A and B are shown apart, each in its own frame.
Chain A
Amino acid sequence: MAAVSAARARRAAARTGQYAALVCYLVFLAFPLVWLASTALKTPQEMALLDPTWIPLEPTLANFAAAFGEQDLVGAARRSLGVALCSAVLTVLLALPAAYVLARYKSAVNRVVMGWVLVSQVFPFILVIIALFMILRRFGLVDSLAGLVLVHATWCLPFVLWMLRGYLRGIPRVLEEAAAVDGAGRWRTLVSVVAPLAAPGVAAALMFGFVSSWNEFLFALILLKDPGVQTLPLVLVAFTGPEGVARLGPLAAASLMAAVPSLVFFAFIQRRFRGGLVDGAVKG
């Protein structure tokens, strides 16, 4: 009896510890966002207090007014949204079939391809930017959102390919074989069996592509010069000055707005992140 009680107490303690760790992790994750919101609502005087407060003493919307009044945040956000959606979709469309082939077929070529995918990740941005700029200029894709989509998709492609290949390899091959036994052709098997099972992986890849493109700054800086096509990260840096000085209030207000679409996109897509979809699909 005493042993059972002790085991129960140990389990309760372990559970309490798990929840405490989870709360700490949530606080860690939420801190930047909460601090951003708090800063966005503070007056300049309050931001310069030596002992900062979490809740603004005199909340103000002046920072939002300044941010939206001085820069075309809405237009920039609309363009960023278009670029991020297109980049994410294009990346996944290109990566998915390639990842399937790499996951299902073993050959020397595939090994070389995977090696090249890994190697391509080590090239620093600065090594390619001037050549990239000149190529895009030749094709009339400088100052063009379409050019930026191509660049973002290309930049994300290796990692997304690697990610999806890993995911697809986790889908039991016997499910495809079972579909074939039931008379499904290759295309039907891919559409009706593989695609639904791959959905969580595709959702994760879309999320990665979207967030990478949404936040990307340097390619956009180099490629987009016309103010009419600039994306949100380029507009945000307008609130920073030399030697690390920044107008924190408007910057926080604009950054808070910039965080919203990623959160909404994640909320929209997160129901696709369902673990255990294939649990029990095969015996043994």
Chain B
Amino acid sequence: MTVGRGGRGRRRGTALAAAGLAAAVLVTGCAQGDPGEEPMRYLSLAWQTQSIEANRRLVQEWNREHPDAPVEYVQGSWDNVNDQLVTAFEGGDPPDIIHNESPTLTSFEYRNYLADLGDDLPADVRADIGDAAWDTVTIDGRVVGVPLLQEPQVLIANADILRESGVRIPTVEEPWTWDEFEAAARELTVPGERHAVAWPLSSPTNRVLNLALNFGGEFFRVAEDGTVTVEVGPREREVLERIHRQLYTDRTADPQAVGMSGSDPLPAFFAGQYAMVQGGVYTRQQVVEQAPDGFDWVMLPPLVGDVPDQGATSQTLSVAAGSPHEADAAAFVAFMAEPDNQVDLALGDWLTPTSQEALASPELTTNENEWDVAVHAAGNLRSAPYLQVPGFDEFKNRVSEPLLQEYFGDRISLDELARRMEEEGDAVMARYADEG
């Protein structure tokens, strides 16, 4: 086959045009400037429509009111934010304002990545946010973030099944104890047709450690000399054993749901195969969005053990240490933490705010979409000891996640789980103590 001059010319022209277009596209990305004169970068992990809208709206509002300290909204993702941040910090070019969650802050503080905001925050913001929430971001006396949103652990139930079964429906005044929950689960289970509950435990550590506080289970002991050890004693075993019993002794919980995450069990829940699903208060959003018409659901208040306490994990805003805009960034964080703004953010993410004033706002005390139950549940939150442990991230990823998955998959016994968590966890803790 021969190609004529016109054909060759057209091809060459197309190739040149493509190269020109590509070059033009590339050139747009090459500008570099003085970091001190660039806008502050706010790495946000908002991912739900309302939440993204609320964040962007607040950034616009800030920029209107503070034209001399503009903020640029940068979209991040929960999936890989820590890889991104570690590289950016080590490379010396982190975002100025960082959205993250409290369990990660300890590792970042250990590497001196975060600014101490203790003296930079207005007194009204300090006073409005509860002490338990501040504890989730205070490490060795340094305030390394502002806690904004929290996630109490709850049960979401099929209201029709609950009513038909005749079990007592718990209220915020009289919630279920774990014993009552297990008894009710036996009533709600129909062998071969329906499990009472789905525990999605693909990432079990935070969930289990937060619930363990119901029985005083803290998992970490800090000696007077500061040495941290892992301890899985009777108090720590209580919740572990109860969940395992539901899965493999009572058979009131579906073992297939153990490998699921977040909202994965919802299709079976909507189809009546589960009477309840366990999750954070944000699960309501998926239920409201995905439930078939006429599906009647209810959110049950958190379970109570020896005490009603649950460990709190906060979504936080921090400021990068050494940011050229440290004071302005702290002011922006304080702006985001104002009660009205926290209400917007809480509604967007379907989580509970840390601001006491926001918790009392009409939008969040309504019974619509069970906000009143969610807000009441926030009252039981307290800082879990693991938030103060350097190396918790590594303990979680390398020790507790795989071991808990094995335990909930019924592949190891509780004794083996406890022994290995202690041995392998202590090795991680010792290494961080040596490096510290």
Measured CB to CB, the residues of A under 8 A from B are: 44-45, 47-50, 66, 70-71, 78-79, 81-83, 85-86, 89, 126, 129-130, 133-134, 137, 140-149, 218, 221-222, 224-230, 234-235, 237-245, 247
| B95 with A244: CB separation less than 8 A | no
Contact B292 A45 (CB under 8 A): yes
- Picked from A81, A85, A230, A241, the residue with its CB within 8 Å of the CB of B47 is A241
B115-157 CB mask vs A (1 if < 8 Å, else 0) is 0000000000000000000000000000000000000000000
Closest to B52 in A: A70
Chain B residues engaging chain A, CB cutoff 8 angstroms = 18-19, 21-32, 41, 43, 45, 47-49, 52, 72-75, 77-80, 83-84, 87-88, 90-93, 95, 101, 202-203, 261-264, 266-268, 270-271, 273, 286, 289-293
Cβ of A25 to closest chain B Cβ, rounded Å: 29
**A-B residue pairs in contact (CB < 8 Å), sample of 26:** A44-B289, A48-B270, A48-B291, A70-B49, A83-B22, A83-B25, A86-B19, A130-B90, A133-B88, A134-B92, A140-B32, A142-B32, A144-B32, A148-B29, A221-B80, A222-B83, A222-B88, A227-B75, A228-B28, A238-B77, A239-B47, A241-B262, A242-B101, A242-B262, A244-B261, A247-B49
Report the bound CA distance from A97 to B371 in whole Å. 66
Contacts of A71 in B (CB 8 A): 75
State whether A137 touches B92 (Cβ < 8 A). Answer: yes
Among A44, A45, A243, the most chain B Cβ lie within 10 Å of the Cβ of A243
Rounded to whole Å, the gap between the CB of A197 and the closest CB of chain B is 14
Q: Check if A143 sits within 8 Å of B32, measured CB to CB.
A: yes
Within 8 Å by CB of B28, from A44, A47, A141, A229, lies A229
CA distance A237 to B165 in the complex (A): 42
Contact B32 A50 (CB under 8 A): no
Across the interface, name the chain A residue whose C-beta is closest to B19.
A89
Q: Which residues of B contact A244 (CB under 8 A)?
A: 202-203, 261-262, 264
* A133, B30: Cβ atoms closer than 8 Å: no
Contact status A48-B30, CB under 8 Å: no
Q: In the complex, what distance in Å separates the CA atom of A112 from the CA atom of B291? A: 62
Q: Which residue of A lies closest to B18 (CB)?
A: A85
Q: Across the interface, do A240 and B79 meet the contact criterion of CB distance under 8 Å?
A: yes
The reply to whether A221 and B47 form a contact with Cβ atoms under 8 Å apart is no
Contact (Cβ within 8 A) B32 A48 = no
* Cα distance, A241 to B286, chains bound together (Å): 12
How many angstroms between the C-alpha atoms of A229 and B32 in the bound complex? 12
> A48-B270, A86-B22, A130-B91 known; A242 and B41 CB under 8 Å?
no
Within 8 Å CB of A140, what residues of B? 30, 32
Closest to B21 in A: A82
Given A86-B22, A244-B261, are A235 and B75 neighbors across the interface (CB < 8 Å)? yes
